[in-house]
Structure 1
Amino acid sequence: MKKRQAANDHTQAPTIRTPTFLLELSLVVNQGQAKRLRAHLEAARQLYNALLSLGQQRLRRMRADPAWQEARTLPRTHKAERAVAFSDLRKAHGFTEAALHQAVKGLRVGWIAEHIEAVLAQTLSSRAYRALNRVCLGHARRVRFKSRGRGCSSIENKRNDTGLRFVLQPPEEGNAGFLLWNGDQLPALIDWQDEVVAHGLRHRIKYARLIQRPASSSRAAGADAKSNRYCVQLILEGTPYRKPKHTVSQGVVGADLGPSTLALVPQEGEASLQVFCAELVPDERAIRRLQRQMDRQRRAGNPEYYDEKGRIRKQGKQKRQWKQSKRYQATRRRKASKERKLAAYRKSLHGHKVHEVLTQGNTIILEKISYKAWQKQFGTSVGLRAPGMFVALLKRTAVPPLGVVSTGGTLVEVPTRTTALSQWCHGCGKRVKKPLSERWHQCECGVGPVQRDLYSAFLAAYLDPADPIPSCAQYQPYWEGAEARLRAAHECLIQRAKEGQDLPRSLGLTRARVRLPKSSEEPPLEPILLLEGEELEAWAEPLEPPLF
């Protein structure tokens, strides 16, 4: 009883930063409560947009000030002078988080004050400031205003003793949990048999966040008439629960992540090369049909915006007011539902892959990649598999938060310009630039042929994170044993190809028609039409370079 009271004592806020994790619970919301929640979120949307508009005006005035250009001309070696100059400019023009907290007092008036408390208004102003500050620092081009109906879907507090808060009953009263906000008491669905939920509710609640998500159907649990479901995210103090099946090994793993492949080479253990998120297969045909249907409905509702050839008329600077019929909105919701399910499945696959990597080692070394550049060159594959999100999840899971031992691991991202693992040879130390079509590493010194991604992961596994510059001496003792492991990983890949699995070209198989090592005598197979009997003979052919 005393432990429960201590865990639920939310009145005393911590004075220092503590590790934090999330626990999400579904809420049971009736039609009346859902209507009031939508009104509250609509008020939050309008207040957030007003803060963005005010912050944009202050940002433009600050950039138009001649002192801004003078501060920019200061040399970057004088970091202290530049910091003071920009800080004075921010304070003079009111472009600070504290200034927006003061400004929100004048915006939270009238009917908005009836829906949004002062503390929630401050969290909205902090969110708006973070979005505007990204534009100020050059990390984003513009801020996005939230449109009506598709706008603010979450709101959070920064304390758990007033306003939006979560209350947990003691065991003798039923162990039930409720989200309290503006006179509404929303019960949460708590499964005390779930170890993750029981572990989370034993920790102190820092604050709560209300989230509105579109439901798959109006019959979903907790869904309202608008097919929305509501959840509460509890921000808890401590470390998350780790299931016993998710073991973490001690060791170093070299990784080479591509737009559609992932190569893993631990210092001890089996190497692997696999298609990244191979189970993620979108229903492209259904999505294309919905897109065409949306285009027809948009054209039927807005004929004045199209010419006689079906092209959109040039409007100039005048903004178009597109009409959206109810059927168009329903089609858009069906398309969004398919994309939302695909994103949820991708997130699940990322989680499984992270735990799979940590079973081989808790120190992961990989090259630091510009995923924005990948979006321009490999847009389809990156948009489907999201390798940047996977690395972010791997970093959160492997690296202990705020120095607290979680997995005890580290994630090291070495710069590609100094390492150039895909172009460097450990046998002679030369760097030879290879085109992307050349998927095999073979050097004149006798190293190779070996699959390019596997070789890069091998070099990363034995790289010194303190001095990420490869040298020939550090790889010679390990190459003889690692070469057999790399060969075994490639043979497993060949076996999957013979079984009929669809593999991308970047894996370096002959049938994928990529560039082979120069010493290969057999040219890559040309795309020819085969009869049914000849197809069986073609699959019996070797899919590996002759020298491997």
Structure 2
Amino acid sequence: MKSTTPTFVVELPLSVNDQQNRFLTKAFEFGRTLYNATLSSALGKLQRMRQSQLWRETRSMPKGKTRSKRFSDLQKSYGLTENGLRTIANNHRKASGRNDIDAHEAQCIGRTVWRALERYLFLGAGKPRFKSFRQGLNSIEGTDNHEIMFKTERQAIIWRKQVLKLIIPDTDYFKEVLADPIEPTQTKRIKYCRIVRRTLNGKKRWFAQICLEGMPPVRKIYAPQSEVMGIDPGPSGLAYFHPQEAGLVRVAPNVDMQEKTIGRLQRKIDRSRRANNPGHFNEDGTVKPFPEPWKVSHRMEKLQVKLAEHHRCLAATRKRDHGELANFLLQRAGTIKIEKNSYRSYQRNFGKSTTRTGMGAFVSHLKRSAERANSRVVELNAYELKMSQYDPITDTYRKKALKERWHRWGETDILVQRDVMSAFLACYVTDNGHDRTRLLKEWATAEALLSDSGLCQHELCNDQGIPQEVLRLTSPKAKKAEGAEKKSIANILCRK
């Protein structure tokens, strides 16, 4: 049963010797085989259930509560539930005759199999896959603090008589989190522990995740829910508007994809693969269907490790930048309003930018951080509000091309940055939609704020009567011509 109390996780590296490394490697390999055996049994039961006469009869029934109830009863009769798969995993452990892991760890492996099967059955996810020897199992956890145990006084994880020392940083945060249980005012109940295996620069490293009850210690001072902010996410950045602050920020600014480096590594790997497996390819260079096992050279393995390490560093940097930006926003507002977007559409239309920034992952990170900080993230209906099209002055909607980055305020000469305008509208949106009266009232203050930030400007015209700001800010060709003109003037001055 899922716990209802809040939980937070503290991850710490483990210091293991050769004997402990062999013990952990052996236990994780047995956990992998146990996972595959449990998944095989579950898929077999699923196939037999779908081939039964009762399943076909139930499937032909009209949709409703009766049909759903019969499906649920049929699923339980075949043991395709969380408890059923936990029992199957423990039975496989007993039948193996091995004692590398205990019953509680085996039950957690069965629960992991159930979660993968549940996504396949009910959420439209792909069919669960078996874990190969090269991929392996990445984590093993217990059901409570009695199998994989964290001992505060020893500062270590104890599992099957193995004492795995923790490397704990000497900071106030970890002192508060891992407080001595002798002091009752600082006690935090340990729910369970998890051992995680990661590959860093081609080498296996071991970590312990201690799952504690309660909320984590506060390291940031977050704003109350009465402070409201509107944000408008884009492929590579977002605009935010608060009555006292507004701006444009980049998401994951420190992520450098280094596409050329990745491309070189991928080409080297492909050349090595083709040289070692000439019989796996057709004359036109395509891969033959159902080839034999691939041969992997040591050089190719090193290249794959280098590529994997590059992507791992990118993911870690991206996650760190997401956390910093989420804290930045939550320190200024406790209620954040955001459009409900399709981030898969972002991937289709802005592939490179979305790969670098991970906008969908950032929004998920923001929601988790807001829940932990007792804040709110309110998702708005983009199809009804049309914030990039609405003009409060005329109370009309006008669809803009993607290249139009500036919004004209009514029929005036005021130009507002398009994304910041959407964030401004999101900040003051109500349950009934746009509150035009309030928007016009708040605009006087917002105009001064945006003007100081350079996000709101008055339009200037050139000799031909064409607005210069529009030419400079909305026309890529005009911007390119302006740059070429400045460059030619600079060359003439240098010659003089």
Which TM class, normalised by the smaller chain length? 0.7 to 0.9
Q: Deviations over 1:375-424 (max 9, x none)?
A: 22222221221111111111111124xxxxxx331111112222221122
The residue identity in structure 2 corresponding to 1:124 is I
Once the two structures are overlaid, the 10-residue window that deviates more, 247-256 or 36-45, is 247-256
Match of 1:430 among 393, 396, 404: 396
Between the aligned partners of 2:46 and 2:413, the Cα distance in structure 1 is 57
SS in 1 for 2:9: strand
Between the aligned partners of 1:232 and 1:19, the Cα distance in structure 2 is 19
The residue identity in structure 2 corresponding to 1:534 is S
Between the aligned partners of 2:349 and 2:340, the Cα distance in structure 1 is 17
Percentage identity across paired residues of the two chains: 34
2:337 matches 1:365: yes
- Other-structure match for 1:295: 270
| Correspondences of 1:494-533 after superposition (within 5 Å) | 514=474, 524-526=478-480, 530=484, 533=487
| 8 Å Cα contact 1:427/1:447 also seen in 2 | no
Q: Deviations over 1:49-78 (max 9, x none)?
A: 2222222233334444565566567676x4
SS in 1 for 2:196: strand
Cα drift, residue 84 of structure 1: 1.8
User: Residues 179, 75 of structure 1: CA spacing in aligned structure 2 closer, same or farther, 3 A cutoff?
Assistant: same
Between the aligned partners of 1:437 and 1:322, the Cα distance in structure 2 is 47
Between the aligned partners of 2:383 and 2:316, the Cα distance in structure 1 is 35
Cα drift, residue 86 of structure 1: 2.9
Cα drift, residue 295 of structure 1: 0.8
- Other-structure match for 1:166: 150
| 8 Å Cα contact 1:68/1:86 also seen in 2 | yes
2:321 matches 1:349: yes
- Other-structure match for 2:371: 399
Match of 1:264 among 240, 246, 269: 240
Q: TM-score, normalised by structure 2?
A: 0.87
SS in 1 for 2:389: coil
Cα drift, residue 26 of structure 1: 1.2
| 8 Å Cα contact 2:144/2:192 also seen in 1 | yes
Between the aligned partners of 1:414 and 1:66, the Cα distance in structure 2 is 46
Once the two structures are overlaid, the 10-residue window that deviates more, 59-68 or 475-484, is 59-68
Cα drift, residue 528 of structure 1: 8.7
Between the aligned partners of 2:164 and 2:120, the Cα distance in structure 1 is 37
- Other-structure match for 1:410: 376
- Other-structure match for 2:347: 375
Match of 1:326 among 298, 301, 313: 298
2:84 matches 1:99: yes
The residue identity in structure 2 corresponding to 1:258 is G
- Other-structure match for 2:424: 458
The residue identity in structure 2 corresponding to 1:136 is L
User: Residues 55, 473 of structure 1: CA spacing in aligned structure 2 closer, same or farther, 3 A cutoff?
Assistant: farther
Between the aligned partners of 1:15 and 1:304, the Cα distance in structure 2 is 51
Match of 1:242 among 218, 222, 232: 218
- Other-structure match for 1:421: 387
2:108 matches 1:130: no
2:259 matches 1:284: yes
Cα drift, residue 474 of structure 1: 3.3
Between the aligned partners of 1:346 and 1:200, the Cα distance in structure 2 is 25
Q: Deviations over 1:228-270 (max 9, x none)?
A: 11110000011111225x443551010011111110101x212
| Correspondences of 1:103-182 after superposition (within 5 Å) | 103-109=88-94, 111=96, 113-161=98-146, 163-169=147-153, 176-182=154-160
- Other-structure match for 1:314: 288
- Other-structure match for 1:499: none
| 8 Å Cα contact 1:47/1:112 also seen in 2 | no
Match of 2:356 among 384, 390, 411: 384
SS in 1 for 2:245: coil
Match of 2:33 among 29, 32, 46: 46
User: Residues 271, 95 of structure 1: CA spacing in aligned structure 2 closer, same or farther, 3 A cutoff?
Assistant: same
Cα drift, residue 371 of structure 1: 1.4
| 8 Å Cα contact 1:58/1:95 also seen in 2 | yes
SS in 2 for 1:108: helix
Between the aligned partners of 2:301 and 2:145, the Cα distance in structure 1 is 38
SS in 2 for 1:346: helix
2:19 matches 1:32: yes
Between the aligned partners of 2:419 and 2:177, the Cα distance in structure 1 is 40
Paired positions, count: 472
| 8 Å Cα contact 2:416/2:455 also seen in 1 | no
| 8 Å Cα contact 2:417/2:456 also seen in 1 | no
The residue identity in structure 2 corresponding to 1:134 is R
The residue identity in structure 2 corresponding to 1:375 is Q
Cα drift, residue 81 of structure 1: 3.6
| 8 Å Cα contact 1:419/1:468 also seen in 2 | no
- Other-structure match for 2:463: none
Could you list the runs of 5+ residues in structure 1 that have no partner in the other structure? 1-13, 170-175, 218-226, 401-406, 494-507, 517-522, 538-548
Match of 2:280 among 281, 305, 328: 305
Match of 1:194 among 171, 184, 191: 171
Q: Deviations over 1:4-42 (max 9, x none)?
A: xxxxxxxxxx99721111111111111121112111111
SS in 2 for 1:27: strand
Between the aligned partners of 1:384 and 1:209, the Cα distance in structure 2 is 30
Between the aligned partners of 2:126 and 2:445, the Cα distance in structure 1 is 50
The residue identity in structure 2 corresponding to 1:166 is F
- Other-structure match for 1:255: 231
| 8 Å Cα contact 1:43/1:115 also seen in 2 | yes
| 8 Å Cα contact 1:270/1:489 also seen in 2 | no
- Other-structure match for 2:494: none
Structure number with higher strand proportion: 2
CA RMSD, 1 decimal: 3.0
Could you list the runs of 5+ residues in structure 2 that have no partner in the other structure? 180-187, 458-468, 492-496
The residue identity in structure 2 corresponding to 1:436 is L
Between the aligned partners of 2:444 and 2:426, the Cα distance in structure 1 is 16
2:450 matches 1:486: yes
Between the aligned partners of 1:324 and 1:413, the Cα distance in structure 2 is 48
SS in 1 for 2:74: helix
2:237 matches 1:273: no
Q: TM-score, normalised by structure 1?
A: 0.79
SS in 2 for 1:475: helix
Cα drift, residue 444 of structure 1: 5.3
Between the aligned partners of 1:112 and 1:299, the Cα distance in structure 2 is 43
- Other-structure match for 1:184: 162
Cα drift, residue 113 of structure 1: 3.4
- Other-structure match for 1:207: 192
2:222 matches 1:233: no
Q: Deviations over 1:503-539 (max 9, x none)?
A: xxxxx99667x559xxxxxx733469849953869xx
| 8 Å Cα contact 1:414/1:468 also seen in 2 | no
Between the aligned partners of 2:413 and 2:58, the Cα distance in structure 1 is 53
